[in-house]
Structure 1
Amino acid sequence: MPKGRQLEELNRRQCLDLLDTVRVGRLVFTEGGLPAVQPVNFRLWHEDLAIRVAGGPKLAAATDNQVVAFEADELDAELRDGWSVVVVGHAEPVTDIDELVELSGTFVEPWVEGQRDHFVRIRTEKMTGRRFRDRRLPQYHGVAETSTST
Structure 2
Amino acid sequence: MSDENVRRVVTVPWTGAAEPAARRMVQLDRSEALRLLGSVPLGRIVFTLHALPAIRPVNHLLDGEDVVIRTHEGAALVGQSQQAGDPGVVVAYEADCIDPDTRLGWSVVVTGYAQPVTDPDELARYRARLHPWVDKAMDCTVRIRPDMVTGVRLVP
TM over 0.5: yes
Once the 2 structures are TM-superposed, how far is the Cα of residue 115 of structure 1 from its aligned partner? 0.7
2:98 maps to which residue? Answer: 75
Q: Does the 8 Å contact 1:59/1:93 carry over to 2? A: yes
Structure 2 residue ranges without an equivalent (≥5): 1-19
Aligned letter for 1:14? Answer: E
Aligned-residue CA RMSD in angstroms? 1.6
2:41 maps to which residue? Answer: 23
Matches within 5 A, 1:44-123: 44-55=62-73, 56-61=75-80, 63=82, 65-108=88-131, 110-123=132-145
Q: Where has structure 1 moved over 6 Å in runs of 4 or more?
A: none
Task: Name the SS for the 1:125 alignment partner.
Answer: strand
Matches within 5 A, 1:8-19: 8-19=26-37
* Alignment partners' CA distance in 2, 1:47 and 1:62: 25
1:131 maps to which residue? Answer: 153
Once the 2 structures are TM-superposed, how far is the Cα of residue 46 of structure 1 from its aligned partner? 2.2
Once the 2 structures are TM-superposed, how far is the Cα of residue 62 of structure 1 from its aligned partner? 7.8
Structure of higher CA gyration radius: 2
Aligned letter for 1:2? Answer: A
Aligned letter for 1:47? Answer: E
- Identity, in percent, stands at 43
Once the 2 structures are TM-superposed, how far is the Cα of residue 106 of structure 1 from its aligned partner? 1.3
Q: Does the 8 Å contact 1:29/1:61 carry over to 2? A: no
1:17-38 Cα shifts (integer Å, max 9, x gaps): 1111111101000111111011
* Alignment partners' CA distance in 2, 1:106 and 1:69: 22
User: Which of 67-76 and 99-108 deviates more?
Assistant: 99-108
Aligned length: 132
Instruction: Compute the TM-score of the two structures, normalised by the length of structure 2.
Output: 0.78
1:140 maps to which residue? Answer: none
Q: Does the 8 Å contact 1:68/1:89 carry over to 2? A: yes
Aligned letter for 2:51? Answer: G
2:6 maps to which residue? Answer: none
Instruction: Compute the TM-score of the two structures, normalised by the length of structure 1.
Output: 0.81
* Alignment partners' CA distance in 2, 1:122 and 1:44: 10
Q: Does the 8 Å contact 1:62/1:93 carry over to 2? A: no
